[in-house]
Structure 1
Amino acid sequence: MTITQLNYVLAVAEHQNFTKAAQKVFVTQPTLSMQIQKLEDELDIQIFDRGKKPIELTDVGRKIVAQARNIVNESDRIKDIVDQQKGYIGGEFKIGVIPTIMPTLLPMFLSNFTKKYPKVKLSIEELHTEAIIEQLKEGHIDAAIAATPLEDEEIKERVLYFEPFVGYVPNNHRLQGKTKIDPTDLDVEDILLLQDGHCFKDGILNLCKMADRYEEDRFSLQSGSFETLIKLSNEGLGMTLLPYLHTLDLRDQDKSHLRMFTDPIPAREVSIIYHKSELKMQIIEALQSVIAGVVKGAITFQNVQIISPISK
């Protein structure tokens, strides 16, 4: 049994196709198939049910894949130990970022990071939180930036910053005359929300539940972007809530509709998260340092109340 064979097994389990798996690990399909067959012969079991389309894991195959992932991760730690000993920060690093953070945070730190750590080859993908957790556990990404806490024992979190919720209140709205709003002012019936799958939406719903201003399925309209929500709000269809960093680049006429919350300000906790196996920690720590440095000047709020991103 070899680490290479286990990597081939993981690739087939991911793609459910021998040809695609071979492309993923940069070998020919016959080579990959032969090595997996050798492993199955050695263990005297079938890892894959080749009669199914797409290929499926057998019952014992699922257990083997789970263990193979642990073994491959642990073998990767050896290279990590050597890199850390040498002070080397480089190589490929795959990171996921949730959609409500990607457009505002990425421009703030990416250029600084790539200049400071030119040997790191970042691969960045926009993913919802559910997909991020799954891909971290399966080893498809190395880390992610997401709203926390996630309360998952397999995921570790390092807080980067706290980002306040900001009200966007259009003309002629019942809260338009207020200079600051309170969570008890919110009514989910007139708040425009992001579509399902966005943890920012779950945070808003949790905020409304805390204020006892929530009834299941009573909101009127959902959209996929903050820009659309702002336009709909300007049309008089309701207010909305925005993350603080998103408000910094609004037009002046739109900024006039912003309302901060009273203290303690409801906020989301934004963290860099990674698997408990703690691979590539030198890159994770470098990312944490750069991001915290650039955000420190943009967000200076202290008295905040963390709103959970977990749907409750």
Structure 2
Amino acid sequence: MTITQLYYVLAVAENQNFTKAAEKCFVTQPTLSMQIQKLEDQLDVQIFDRSKKPIELTEVGKKIVNQARNIVNESYRIQDIVDQQKGFIGGEFKLGIIPTIMPTLLPMFLKTFIKKHPKVKLKIEELTTEEIIARLKDGHLDAAIAATPLEDENIKERVLYFEPFVSYTPEGHRLHSNKKIDVSELDINDMLLLEDGHCFRDGVINLCKAFKNHSDDQFQLESGSIETLIRLSNEGLGMTLLPYLHTLEIHEKEKKNLHYFNEPSPAREVSIIYHKSELKMQIIEALQDVIAGIIRGAIAFQNVKIISPLPK
């Protein structure tokens, strides 16, 4: 049994196709198939049910794949040990970022990080929290930036900053004249929300105590982007809540619609998260240092109350 054989097994399990798996592993399809067949012969089991289209794992195959993933991840740790011993910060690093953080945070730190650590080849994807957790667990992401806490025993979290919620209430809205807003004044039936799948949406719902009184018969409008929510709000269709960093880029004429909350301000906790196997920690720590250094000058709020990003 070899690490290479296990790597091939993981590739087939992911792609459910021998040809696609071989392409991903940069080997010929006969070579990959032969190595997997050797492993099955040695174990005297069938890992894959080849009669199914697409190919499926057998019951024992599912257990083998779970263990193979652990073994392959641990094998990467050897290179990690060498890199850390040498103080090397480089190589490919796959980073996921949730949609409500990507457009504001990424431009703030990316240029600085690349300049400081030119040997790191960042591959960045915009993904939902659900997608991020799945990819961290299967080894397709090295780390991610997301709203926490996630309460997942397989995921470790390092807090980067706390980002307050800010109310966007246009002229004519019942709360527009308020200097500050109290959480008790929020009504979910008067709120423009992000579409389902966004953890910021879940945070807003958790914040709005009136959500339990929500009726499906009442008007409710949802959108896939914060920018669209602002435009809809300007049309008088309701108020919305924004993450603080989004308010820094808002048009000057729209800033009169921003209202802060009474302290403690509701806020989301933003963290860099990674698998408990703790691979590539030197790069994770480098990212944390760069982001923390930049964000310190952008968010000065201290008295905050963290709102869970998990659906309740």
TM-score by length of 2: 0.98
Distance in 2 between residues matched to 1:310 and 1:24, nearest whole Å = 34
1:215 corresponds in structure 2 to: 214
* Distance of aligned partners of 1:187 and 1:213 in 2 relative to their CA distance in 1, 3 Å threshold: farther
RMSD: 1.0
C-alpha distance in structure 2 between counterparts of 1:40 and 1:254, whole Å: 64
3-state SS in 2 of match to 1:170:
coil
Match of 2:68 in 1: 68
CA contact (8 A) 2:189 2:211 kept: no
Distance in structure 2 (CA, Å) of the matches to 1:142 and 1:214:
41
Write the mapping of 1:144-293 to structure 2, written as runs, cut at 5 A: 144-209=144-209, 214-215=213-214, 217=216, 220-293=220-293
- TM-superposed CA distance for 1:285, in Å, is 0.3
Sort the Cα spacing of 1:158 and 1:223 in 2 relative to 1 into closer, same or farther, 3 A: same
With over 3 angstroms needed to count, the CA separation of the structure-2 counterparts of 1:106 and 1:40, relative to structure 1, is: same
Structure 2 residue aligned with 1:32:
32
1: distance between equivalents of 2:248 and 2:19?
47
% same residue: 76
Aligned residues: 311
Task: Report the alpha carbon displacement of residue 215 of structure 1 after superposing the two structures with TM.
Answer: 2.4
SS where residue 9 of structure 2 aligns? helix
Q: Secondary structure at the match of 1:241?
A: strand
Measured in 1, the distance between the counterparts of 2:214 and 2:50 equals: 49
CA contact (8 A) 1:191 1:219 kept: no
Paired letter, 2:180? K
Cα distance in 2 for partners of 1:114, 1:21 equals 32
Deviations 1:256-310 (A, max 9, x none): 1000000000000000000000000000000000001111100011000000000
2:55 and 2:249 mapped to 1: Cα distance?
48
Give the deviation of 1:107 after TM superposition: 0.2
Deviation at 1:87, TM superposition (A): 0.2
Deviation beyond 2 Å, 4+ runs, structure 1: 211-219
- What is the letter of the counterpart of residue 102 of structure 2? M
Amino acid at match of 1:86: K
Give the letter for the 1:215 counterpart: H
SS at match of 1:63: helix
Matched, 1:103 2:123: no
TM-score (ref. length: structure 1): 0.98
Helix, strand or coil for the counterpart of 1:99? coil
Relative to structure 1, the CA distance from residue 120 to residue 106 in structure 2 (aligned partners, 3 Å threshold; closer, same or farther) is same
Secondary structure at the aligned position of 2:208 is classed as: helix
Question: Does the CA contact (< 8 Å) of 1:188 and 1:219 recur in 2?
Answer: no
**Which stretches in structure 1 are left out of the alignment for 5+ residues?**
none
Q: Which runs of 5+ in 2 are unaligned?
A: none
For the residues of structure 2 that align with 1:202 and 1:216, how far apart are their CA atoms?
17
Deviations 1:59-109 (A, max 9, x none): 000000000000011111111011000000000000110000000000000
SS of residue paired to 1:256: helix
**Is the 8 Å Cα contact of residues 187 and 214 (structure 1) preserved in structure 2?**
no
